[in-house]
Amino acid sequence: MKNLINTLIISCLMSTTLLAQQLPISNLYDQNRMMFNPANTGDQDVPVAMLHHRQQWMGIQGAPMSQIITIQTPLGEYMGVGGMIQNTKTDILRQTSLHLNYAYGVDLALGHRLTFGLGAVYYQNSLDLNNVVVQDQSELSMYATNFNGSSFNMDFGVRYNWDKLEVGISANQLLSNKLNSFSPNDNRFNQFRTHFNGIASYGIVVGESNFIIKPTVLVRYIPQSGTLNDYIVGLDWKNLVWGNLGYRDGNNFIFSAGTWITNNVSLAYSYNYSTEMLSMESFGSHEIALKINLKPKEGEGPYKANERTGELTERKKALMEKSGASKTVIKISRDGFDNNTEQIIIKPGSKMNDNNELEQLKKDTHEINKKIDLLLNSDVSSDKGKEDFLKEIIVLKTRLNELLKFNDPNNVQEVSDEITDIQRKIEELKKKLN
């Protein structure tokens, strides 16, 4: 009986993934990169919830099956927090883990950002002996090993971004500790192994079209067993429809595709097929992912042309056109370089209508001011540097215009001093560029 259970345990653990991988593999990591690198936490600009379901080696009884739920949100421009619940079942082995992540980014220079991430993880492993087929169920009680164990662990990651280049390195299960009381005399089953991941990708815009080609290389490394590499080429159209083709070591071919169903909900699917002997018994591996933007930005979304038109809503127009004894007029350039201006009329002295909007506006304008300070200290001696400089100024100026247009005028009055300071620094930037 003991040999039978040992055989079952070994077989299910070996089948978890290729190369003794202890963590589940996802083919849709480009949609939810927080899964393997905590430095990616909060990188999607708005609060996002995602649900993944993966069935590996469909058609083989007891093959690995995973469910993952993640929630993450940015905190301002430089921080992000998130959580993840992960459940994986392989034959009689079940692993459940709870992850809490934090990420913080710093700007090294114009367009260059380095982000650090840290994750705390709680693991719970168990064996379900109800699925073991024996002539006498009482025989299971003769096996003395504890079939439940738990432990804490840590994840760490770093991400570097420049233009359309991204490079990330992460380490999961940093602590080589053991699951408490879980098969205590056998390190094959209860010993955590550190998993290292490295990813590099670059987005290539196709001419003047709306297509972006994105080659990606992902390397997974476990010191005890070696590497597992993915080579992916993706094609994206307007961030509305995308597809990937790729190859994974071990004669595994990957196809994935996705689209936005609405402005706030997207659906992605992946199929993984192996040409090894396993393919004779399996229908391949399937994965689906559902993404929900929990707090989308006003006026944005793939079905709204991905751009704001600059038109004010009727409510905003009405607020700005309210009559009053005195009004303040702020003139705002359309970008950092032309003389065309728009007038936003603000009625001073009114009570703020929405403290949350006001606090967010204060935070956003302060971040723009910090970014402009960074630009003032940047080197623009090269032609490439001047081009990046110009783009960044226009982006910041456009962002400021949008904040002012889509915010309550009374709130804008609260930050008028900082807006004036930003306008002054914009003029300094123009002089520096010239």
Which tokens go with 310? 């600059």
> Taking the CA of residue 319 as centre, how many other CA atoms within 13 Å lie in the half-sphere pointing to its CB?
21
Q: Do both 145 and 207 map to the same domain?
A: yes
Q: Do both 262 and 357 map to the same domain?
A: no
> In terms of C-beta density within 10 A (0-12 exposed, 13-18 middle, 19 or more buried), how is residue 296 classed?
middle
What's the confidence (pLDDT) of residue 301?
Answer: 59
What's the predicted TM-score (pTM) here? 0.64
166: β partners:
161, 201
Q: Do both 110 and 250 map to the same domain?
A: yes
Question: Is 433 strand, coil or helix?
Answer: helix
Q: How crowded is residue 3: how many other Cβ atoms within 10 Å of its Cβ?
A: 7
Q: Do both 199 and 231 map to the same domain?
A: yes
Domain termination site, one of 293, 322, 352: 293
Let me know if residue 124 belongs to a domain.
Answer: yes
What's the confidence (pLDDT) of residue 46?
Answer: 87
Return the CATH number at 187.
Answer: 2.40.160.40
Let me know if residue 298 belongs to a domain.
Answer: no
Q: Do both 124 and 187 map to the same domain?
A: yes
* HEC sequence for 169-190: EEEECCCCCECECCCCCCHHHH
Cα-to-chain-centroid distance, residue 190: 30
Cα-to-chain-centroid distance, residue 382: 33
Q: Do both 253 and 320 map to the same domain?
A: no
Residue 263 amino acid letter: N
Q: Do both 239 and 269 map to the same domain?
A: yes
Which tokens go with 403? 């904040």
What's the confidence (pLDDT) of residue 171?
Answer: 93
Let me know if residue 299 belongs to a domain.
Answer: no
Let me know if residue 301 belongs to a domain.
Answer: no
| Range in 175-179, 332-336, 400-404 the model is least confident about | 332-336
Q: Do both 256 and 336 map to the same domain?
A: no
Please check the confidence at residue 331 and state whether its pLDDT lies above 70.
no
Q: Which residues contact 318 (CB under 8 A, 6 or more apart)?
A: none
Let me know if residue 286 belongs to a domain.
Answer: yes
Contact between 392 and 425 (Cβ < 8 Å): no
pLDDT, average across residues 141-170:
81
Q: Do both 415 and 278 map to the same domain?
A: no
Please check the confidence at residue 79 and state whether its pLDDT lies above 80.
yes
Q: Do both 226 and 253 map to the same domain?
A: yes
What's the confidence (pLDDT) of residue 350?
Answer: 38
**Could you tell me which of 32, 28, 53 has the C-alpha nearest to residue 41?**
32
Residue-number span of the structural domain to which 11 is assigned = 2-293
Q: Do both 253 and 315 map to the same domain?
A: no
Q: Which residue has the tokens 């001419």?
A: 207
